[in-house]
């Protein structure tokens, strides 16, 4: 690919607004975010017009690389600190200098005030050479309630030649596990009521707030409602015919978010915010006292079963243990995740453990 037309653009909130107001036919490049996801990002509480959203590299109108940035206010640090949820480079890019250059541009633009939570193993060698330090570690739990054919094909390439068998195994294991868990869920969910919500109200916030006191990022009712806003996800049933493309997808054939409160005899005992994409569930919030975590896990299993989801990601250790202790699961995988901060702000950060609800922007 010829990179003589390479452009590196700094996208701020103000520029993102202008981009979205421009007719799609008149846009000179594609953003990495879908329009609905970008609109959601613009509504983030306490976000200023000059805050950065992305640093992107464009070549011949094609997106070559980008750093996705989300501004955050951390009490111990002056000005804005930024999450970097994703650093991406196109498969068409043969020159590794481009992605590194974009990364450097992002660091310089935000004065090196950056935190990354999604620490991918394939980037370990790169980060070891950079001035970053670990600020916290968590265990990412992948809990499979059935065999997942797509995941298996990614891990074992020859299975792509046996798609029929993989799909059969997925459906069979899903059905069997559902049957095995039926009586367990019935027992655990006895006398439970669920209230589905778009936004958390005053009563809901009063319940949730005590659980968030030690979060790395201070939470407000407004902040939480922004995180769980369903408008960031757009269902596209005719997925193959959609016009727009995006790396950070806010759309899909099977995508959405389910937010609900759990009641036992009119007493609120739990709150769940579950985002799903294809066959995967991502927990944004899974809050309950330990004594009620088994009931909470049973409701999550029920929702996964109804939505056809085969596995979930969670950083909640107690929830993971509850799944394993109270329900039949197909497979449970653990992986250590490392949250890192640039050395320029590392010492200023409090050592509070990053929680599941911190830095969750997918």
Both tokens of 71, joined, read 């501004």
Longest Cα–Cα distance of the chain, Å, equals 67
Q: Are 19 and 27 in contact (CB under 8 A)?
A: yes
Neighbour tally for 200: CB within 10 Å: 21
Residue 219's pLDDT is: 94
Residue 148 — pLDDT band, cuts 50, 70, 90? Answer: confident
Contact residues for 343 (Cβ-Cβ < 8 A; gap 6+)? 131, 132, 133
Contact residues for 134 (Cβ-Cβ < 8 A; gap 6+)? 338, 339, 340
Both tokens of 253, joined, read 């054939």
Residue 115's pLDDT is: 92
166-170, 241-245, 254-258, 339-343: segment of lowest average pLDDT: 241-245
Phi and psi at residue 54, to the nearest 5°: -170, 150
pLDDT above 90 for 249: no
36-50, 94-108, 157-171, 340-354: segment of lowest average pLDDT: 157-171
Span 6-24, mean pLDDT? 94
- The rounded distance, in Å, linking the Cα atoms of 4 and 283 is 43
**Structural domains for the chain:** 7-116 (3.40.630.30), 140-336 (3.40.630)
2-6, 54-58, 243-247, 292-296: segment of lowest average pLDDT: 2-6
| Torsion angle of the four alpha carbons 237, 243, 248, 254, in this order, in degrees rounded to the nearest 10 | 0
What are the tens digits of pLDDT across the range 268-323? 999 999 999 999 999 999 999 999 999 999 999 999 999 999 999 999 999 999 99
Residue 70 — pLDDT band, cuts 50, 70, 90? Answer: very high
- The rounded distance, in Å, linking the Cα atoms of 56 and 25 is 20
Span 27-44, mean pLDDT? 93
Residue 55's pLDDT is: 97
Residue 29's pLDDT is: 86
What are the tens digits of pLDDT across the range 113-128? 999 875 556 666 677 7
Residue 91's pLDDT is: 87
- H or E element that contains 312: strand 311-314
CA proximity to 122, closest of 359, 335, 358, 357: 335
Residue 120's pLDDT is: 59
Q: Return the SS3 of 86.
A: strand
């Amino acid at each position: 690919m010829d990179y003589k037309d390479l452009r590196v653009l700094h996208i701020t909130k103000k520029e993102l607004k202008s981009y979205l107001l421009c007719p799609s036919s008149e846009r000179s490049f594609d953003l990495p975010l879908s329009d609905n996801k970008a609109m959601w990002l613009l509504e983030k509480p306490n976000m200023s017009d000059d805050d950065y959203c992305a640093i992107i590299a464009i070549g011949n109108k094609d997106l070559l690389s980008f750093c996705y940035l989300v501004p955050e206010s951390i009490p111990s640090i002056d000005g804005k600190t930024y999450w970097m949820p994703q650093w991406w480079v196109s498969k068409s890019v043969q020159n590794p200098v481009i992605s590194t250059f974009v990364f450097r541009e992002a660091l310089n633009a935000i004065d090196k005030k950056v935190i990354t939570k999604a620490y991918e193993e394939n980037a370990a060698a790169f980060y070891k050479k950079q001035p970053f330090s670990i600020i916290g570690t968590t265990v990412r739990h992948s809990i499979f309630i059935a065999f997942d054919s797509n995941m298996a094909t990614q891990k074992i390439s020859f299975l792509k030649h046996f798609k029929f068998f993989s799909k059969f195994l997925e459906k069979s294991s899903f059905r069997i596990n559902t049957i095995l868990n039926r009586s367990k869920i019935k027992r655990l969910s006895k006398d439970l009521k669920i209230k589905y919500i778009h936004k958390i109200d005053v009563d809901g916030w009063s319940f949730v707030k005590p659980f968030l006191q030690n979060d790395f990022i201070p939470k407000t009712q407004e902040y939480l409602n922004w995180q769980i806003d369903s408008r960031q996800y757009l269902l596209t049933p005719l997925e193959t015919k959609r016009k727009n493309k995006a790396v950070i997808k806010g759309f899909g054939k099977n995508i959405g978010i389910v937010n609900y409160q759990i009641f036992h005899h009119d007493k609120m005992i739990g709150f769940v915010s579950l985002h799903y994409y294809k066959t995967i569930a991502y927990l944004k919030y899974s809050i309950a006292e330990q004594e009620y975590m088994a009931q909470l896990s049973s409701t999550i299993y029920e929702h996964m079963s109804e939505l056809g989801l085969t596995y979930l990601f969670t950083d909640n250790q107690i929830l993971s243990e509850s799944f394993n202790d109270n329900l039949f699961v197909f497979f449970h995988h653990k992986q250590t995740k490392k949250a890192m901060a640039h050395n320029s702000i590392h010492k200023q950060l409090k050592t509070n453990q990053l929680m599941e609800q911190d830095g969750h922007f997918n």
